[in-house]
Amino acid sequence: MTATIHIESKNYKIDLDKPIDISIPVQHQSGVGAWYIDQPVIKHVEVDGYVGKVELGGSTNFNDVSFNPHSHVTHTECVGHITKQVYSVNQALNRTFFKAQVISVQPEEFEDDLVINLGKFTHIADDVEAIVIRTLPNSSDKKTRNYSHTNPPYLLEEVAVRFRESGIKHLLIDLPSVDKEKDEGALLAHKAFFNYQGEYRMDATITEFIYVPMR
C-alpha cells in the first residue's frame, strides 16, 4: 500500500507496507541499559491462587513489568523532564506526522570525550521539523548495549541551540542521552533545546535510545 503526502509544494511517496521501526523494546533481563539501573523484569502474576502463565496452568499470560523508561527502552521526553513543574509528554505531542531528516554522524574526540559538534549539521533542510541522529559506527549491538559508566558520546550545547533556533521541534538520537553521562546535573543540551532559561518550548520533544538501521 502506497500513499502520496503533499507538504507545501512537494509530494512525497511512502510505502505503508514497509515502515522502519526505530524503537528498542523492553526485554526481560536483557536489552539496552544505562544509568546504573538493574535490567528489566517481566514476571507473571500470582495472586489468590491465580497464576498468570499458561505454561503453568493459567488461563492467560498476565505479567507485571518493572523497568525504567530512561534506562531500558526508547523514550520521549518533554520539558517536564527537567522542570519542577509536572508536564506530560502526551500534552506536548499535539500532532502525529512531521517531516524529518536523518543525519549520520561520527562523534569526534573532545578532551576526554566523544562529542557531536555543530560541524556535523551544515545541511539541514529549511522545512524540517524533526532531526534523527544516527551515530557511526551503527552496529546492531546498540539495541543490547549497557552504557552505564562508559561515557557515551553526547551533543555539545551549541548543537542544541542551533536546533532550537532553526525551529526543530523534535530531536531523536540513538544514545542514552543528548547530554554527557556524568555532568553534575548541568544538562546543557536538554536545557538549550527546551529553552529552559527562557520561555519553555512546550511542544518540543527529545527521544533517546532509538536505533536507526542502515538501508
Residues facing residue 146 across a β-bridge? 33
What is residue 96's predicted lDDT score, i.e. its pLDDT? 87
State pLDDT tens for residues 52-108: 999 999 999 999 999 999 999 999 999 999 999 999 999 888 888 899 999 999 999
Residues facing residue 66 across a β-bridge? 41
Q: How confident is the model at residue 202 (pLDDT cuts 50, 70, 90)?
A: very high
Three-state DSSP class for 55?
helix
Domains of the chain: 74-208 (3.50.30.50)
What is residue 118's predicted lDDT score, i.e. its pLDDT? 92
Q: Where are the alpha helices (DSSP H) in the chain?
A: 69-72, 89-92, 157-165, 188-194
- Residue 40 pLDDT greater than 90, yes or no: yes
State pLDDT tens for residues 117-126: 999 888 888 8
- Residue 112 pLDDT greater than 90, yes or no: yes
What is residue 155's predicted lDDT score, i.e. its pLDDT? 98
- The residues, ordered by sequence, that sit 6+ positions from 23 with a Cβ below 8 Å of its Cβ are 73, 74, 210, 211
**Are the C-beta atoms of residues 215 and 102 closer than 8 Å to each other?**
no
CA atoms within 13 A on the CB side of 176: 25
Q: How confident is the model at residue 9 (pLDDT cuts 50, 70, 90)?
A: confident
For 1-19, letters b (16+ CB in 10 Å) and e give eeeeeeeeeeeeeeeeeee
Q: What is this structure's pTM?
A: 0.94
- Residue 215 pLDDT greater than 80, yes or no: no
What is residue 64's predicted lDDT score, i.e. its pLDDT? 98
